Amino acid sequence: MSDAVSAEEVRHVAELARVDLEDDEVDQFTRQFADILEYFETLDEVPEVDREADLTNVMRPDEERDSLDREAALENASETEDGYFKGPNVS
């Protein structure tokens, strides 16, 4: 297990996330973060795969079609305002 993560860094991340951690939780997360970083280090050992140069787009082409008019689209909306959907305020 790597010592790549310090308790101070865990406390800093917790503070950014506005999470209060007890000392034992800081120790636990320090170990878990170190384990996660160790897993990422193993990805460096995975060999690169050669890519095929002759790949083609398998998606269908875009097609224009008629869509709902504004009144039909807003017909079942619980709230509208000035011809638009109205959603809850986000604070």
| pLDDT tens readout for residues 29-64 | 999 999 998 888 888 888 888 777 777 777 888 899
Answering whether pTM is above 0.75, one says no
Is 70 within a domain? Answer: no
Is 63 within a domain? Answer: no
Nearest to 23 by CA among 31, 11, 35, 5: 11
Is 56 within a domain? Answer: no
Is 27 within a domain? Answer: yes
Q: What is the pLDDT of residue 15?
A: 95
| Contact present, 25 and 33 (Cβ < 8 Å) | no
Is 62 within a domain? Answer: no
Range of the domain at 32: 7-44
